[in-house]
A and B are shown apart, each in its own frame.
Chain A
Amino acid sequence: MKMKKSALIGFAIAAALGASAVQAADQYIGLPSYRVGPYAAGGTGIFGGMIDYFQLVNERDGGVNGVKLTWDECETEYNNARGVECYERMKKGGPTGNTVFHPLSTGITYSVIDKATADKIPVISLGYGRTDASDGRVFPYVFPLLTNYWSQNTAKIKFIGSKEGGMDKLKGKKIVNIYHDSAYGKETIPVLDAQAKMYGFTVKHVPVAHPGNEQQSQWLQVRQEKPDWVILRGWGVMNPTALKAAAKIGFPREKIVGVWWSGAEEDTIPAGAAAKGYISAGFNVAGTNYPVIKDIQKFVVAKGKTNMEDKSRIGSVYYNRGVVHGIITVEAIRKAQEKYGKGKSITGEQMRWGIENLKIDNAMLKKLGAEGFMPELKMSCLDHEGSGKVKFQQWDGKQWKVITDWIDADQKLVRGMIEESAAKYAKEKGITPRDCSKES
C-alpha cells in the first residue's frame, strides 16, 4: 500500500514536471563550432557572436514569444567528417530536434545537403556554401542566405566600375584575380569570365596554393601584368601575406578588392601598415555603435554571460557576422511561430517555411537595432539568397570604414547561371524541381 502511494506521488511529480516542461517550451539549435585549427579565428568570432545574440534574446525578451533558445556546441575542427558526426549527434536534440544547421564551412555544407534534406532540417550557409542552392526549387532545405559568391563578385565589378566612373569605362581595363586554389577559390572564375566578356575588360586568374603563406611569384606576375585592379579571393593566412607582398612590389592597396572572407581585422592587423587602404566587401559592418551590439553589452557582457574569451573582439567583423547569423535564425523562428503557433517549439520542417517566407525590411531592422548593420532580406521559394547586396569597407590602418552604401548584385547574370547549374544538379540526382506557384 505504502509502495503504491509513493508511486502515485512519483507520478504526480512526473506529471507536474511534464506539464511545466510543456509550458516552458524551448527551441534547440545545434552549433557545429570550430575553435581549434587554422580557421579558429573565424569560428570563435562567428559562433561567439551568434551565441551572444541568442543569449541576448533569452535575457532581454525571455526567448522568442516565451520560447527559450537552447543550444549545444560540437567541435568540428573544420573537418567534413567531424562535421557530419556533429550533425548526426545534434539532430535529435531538444524537444523538436535540431531547428537549423549552420555549418560555417563550405565543405561541411556540401557534406550535409543530402542528409539534411532527408531529415528535413534546414541548412543556412550565410555567405558561403553551394552557390546554385540559391535555386530553392531544387534545394528546398538549403539557404545560401544574403549573398552568394557569384552575386558578391558581380557587386565587386560594379564597385570597380563606379570607381572608374561608369561601367562603360571598364572597357580595356585589366583585372587580376588572385584566388585560393580550392573549391572555394575557384568558384567565381566562370562568373568573372562572363563579366569580362560583357564589359570588355581582361581578367587573369592567378592561383595561390593552400595555405598561401608564399606568394612571391604570384605578385611578380602582378607586377608584370600591371593590372588596374586586383581581386583578392583569399582565406586565412593568405590575406595578410598578399597585402604584404603587394606592399613589397608597390602595388597600391587602394586597388585591391577582397571578398568578405578576406575582410576581417584578423586579415589586416597581421599585415601591419601594408594593409592601409585595402578594400573588401562585406555583408555586415564592424563596430559597436549599433543598438543591437549595445544591448548585447548591456544584457549579456555586463552580466558575464558572453561567449567571447577576448571581449575586445566584440564589434569585430567576425563577431558582428555571428550576430547577423543570430538575427536571421531568431527572426525565422519568429516567422515560423506566426504560422505554426506562437510560444511553441517548431520543427525543422516548420523552420524551413519560416526561413523561406522571411522578410526583413529596414523598418524591422530598425526595431531590432540593426539598421545599416546588415542588408534587407526577402526570401521566396524561388530565391533562397534573398538579398545579394554588399557594402564595401576600407581599412584605415586601425579599423574598417564603410565607404559605400549597399550595392546590388547583377542578379540577371547570376540568376541565369544559378538556374543552369541547379538544373544540371537536379538532372544528375534525379530531383524533380518544386513548382513554386503551388507553395504557400
Chain B
Amino acid sequence: MLYREAGQFKASYREDQQIFPIRQDRIAIALILAFFYLVVPYFATQYWLQGILIPTLIFALAAIGLNILTGYAGQLSLGSAAFMAVGAFAAYNFVLRVPGMPILAAFILAGLCAAAVGMVFGLPSLRIKGFYLAVATLAAQFFIVWALTKFPWFSNNSSSGVITAQKVEIFGYAFESPEAKYLLTLAVVTVLALLAKNMVRSSIGRSWMAIRDMDVAAEVIGIRPMHTKLMAFAVSSFYCGVAGALYAYTYLGTVEPEGFNLDLSFKILFMVIIGGVGSIMGSFLGAAFIVLLPIFLNVAMHALGGLVPQGISSNLELIVFGGLIIFFLIVEPHGLARLWQIGKEKLRLWPFPH
C-alpha cells in the first residue's frame, strides 16, 4: 500500500533518468541520510562513532570498489587491501611532500594513484579469467605490501615502515573530534556511493555487465574488452584507494603495510559475497555484517559473564561467526541485498498478497 509506484508518471527525461526512480525510495534515502547526518552525530557515543560507524563506512566504500570489479564487471580480485594501502601511503606522501596540499585533493590523488596501480595489475585480466585472474591479483597483494616495506621512501624513512596521518584540515577547520571525522567520512562515502550507483546504470556500467555476462558476445556488439576491463580495475581501485586514505586519516591515524594484508582482502571479498554480488546497497549491508557481527558476538559472550572461560569464548565467537556465514549463504546465496529485494516485492503487494 505504502510502497507502490502506480501513478508515478515520468513526464520528462530528467525524471526518467534520476538515480532513484521511485518516489518512496527517494523519501527513504533522504530520511536515511538525514538520520545519519543530523541525528547520529548528536546521539552516538564516541565508541559508536570511532569503534563502529567509521570503520563500517570505510569498509563499505572498499566493498563498493570490489563490487564494481567483481560484481559488475565479473573480474575476481584478491588485491583490494593492497589498493587500500596504495591509497593510504599515496595520501600520506602527497600531504607530506606537497606543501599546502588540501586534504580532499590528496584523497582524490591517492585514489588516482591506486587506480593507476590497479590498471597495471588489471592487465592480465585481458588474457586470463576466473580463478587464474584471482591468482594474478594475489600478486598485487604481495608485491605492493612488499614494496611499501622495502622502499623507505614511501614511509618517509620511518625505521619500521609505519606512517602517521597528518592533521586533517579543510578551510582551516581541523577535523579532530570523532563527530567531525565521522561526518567527513560519511560525506566522502555518500558522494562516492551515489556516484557508483549512477555509474553502474550508465553506459560504462552496462558495458561492464555485458563483459561479465559473456565477453565474446559483448565484443561482438562493439564493447572494447580492454578498455572496459581496465576501466573497471581503475574505478574499483580508485574506490579502494580512497577507502585506504580514509582508513589512515579518519580511522586508525597510524598504519603499517602489514595492516593491509591478505586477510583484509578476503574480508572485503566476504563483505561483497555476503552483502550481495552486484549491488551497491549490498556493499553496505555486507560491511555492516562483517564488522558488526564479531563485535556483537564478543559483547554477547561477555554478557554470559563468567559462564565460559575467556579462552573458550574467543574460539566460540569464531565458530559461531563462521557458522552464521555458512547459514546465510545457504538460505540466501545472493546475499543480504537479495533479502532486501524480496522484502521490497512483498511490500508492493502488502497488505493484499495474492
Residues of A within 8 A of B (CB): 33-36, 44, 72-75, 79-82, 84-85, 87-89, 91-92, 106-107, 110-111, 113-115, 118, 130-131, 181-184, 186-187, 189-190, 210, 307, 309, 421, 425, 428-430
Contact = CB atoms under 8 A, between A and B. Distances in A.
B252 A183 contact: no
B315 to A, nearest CB: 6
Lowest 7 CB-CB distances: which A-B pairs, in order? A88-B51, A183-B160, A114-B253, A35-B314, A110-B254, A85-B51, A88-B47
B98 to A, nearest CB: 14
Interface stretch (B23-31, B65-73, B104-112, B294-302): B294-302
28 contacts: A35-B315, A36-B314, A75-B298, A75-B313, A75-B314, A81-B252, A84-B55, A84-B251, A84-B252, A85-B52, A85-B55, A87-B51, A88-B50, A107-B256, A107-B258, A107-B259, A110-B164, A115-B253, A118-B176, A131-B160, A183-B258, A186-B159, A190-B159, A307-B309, A309-B311, A428-B164, A429-B167, A430-B167
B202 interface: no
B190 interface: no
B301 to A, nearest CB: 8
Which label, helix, strand, loop or mixed, suits the secondary structure of the B interface? helix
Given A85-B52, A429-B166, A183 B257 contact: yes
A208 to B, nearest CB: 13
A425 B165 CA distance: 11
Contacts of B226: none
Interface in B280-322: 294-295, 298, 302, 309-311, 313-315, 317-318
B270 to A, nearest CB: 14
Interface of B: 46-47, 50-52, 55, 96, 146, 149, 156, 159-162, 164, 166-167, 176, 251-259, 263, 294-295, 298, 302, 309-311, 313-315, 317-318
Given A36-B314, A187-B160, A92 B47 contact: yes
B311 A131 contact: no
Contacts of A75: 298, 310, 313-314, 317
Which label, helix, strand, loop or mixed, suits the secondary structure of the A interface? helix
B159 A187 contact: yes
Nearest to A187: B160
A100 B148 CA distance: 32
Contact of A183 (B55, B161, B167): B161
A302 B119 CA distance: 63
Given A33-B310, A183-B256, A186-B161, A89 B47 contact: yes
Contacts of B252: 80-81, 84, 111
A202 B146 CA distance: 26
Contacts of B167: 429-430
Contact of A73 (B253, B255, B310): B310
A316 B191 CA distance: 54
Contact of B311 (A44, A89, A91): A44
A84 B55 CA distance: 10
A428 B93 CA distance: 12
B225 to A, nearest CB: 35
A84 B314 contact: no
Given A81-B252, A181-B149, A189 B159 contact: yes
Contacts of B46: 88
A81 B294 CA distance: 12
B96 A428 contact: yes
B25 to A, nearest CB: 32
Interface core residue of B96, B159, B256 (most chain A CB under 10 Å):
B159
Contacts of A110: 162, 164, 254-256
Given A88-B47, A187-B159, A189-B159, A425 B164 contact: yes
B294 A82 contact: yes
Given A75-B310, A114-B254, A428-B166, 18 more contacts: A35-B314, A36-B315, A72-B302, A79-B263, A81-B55, A82-B294, A84-B51, A85-B52, A88-B46, A106-B160, A107-B256, A110-B256, A115-B253, A183-B149, A183-B258, A186-B149, A189-B159, A428-B156
Contacts of B166: 428-429
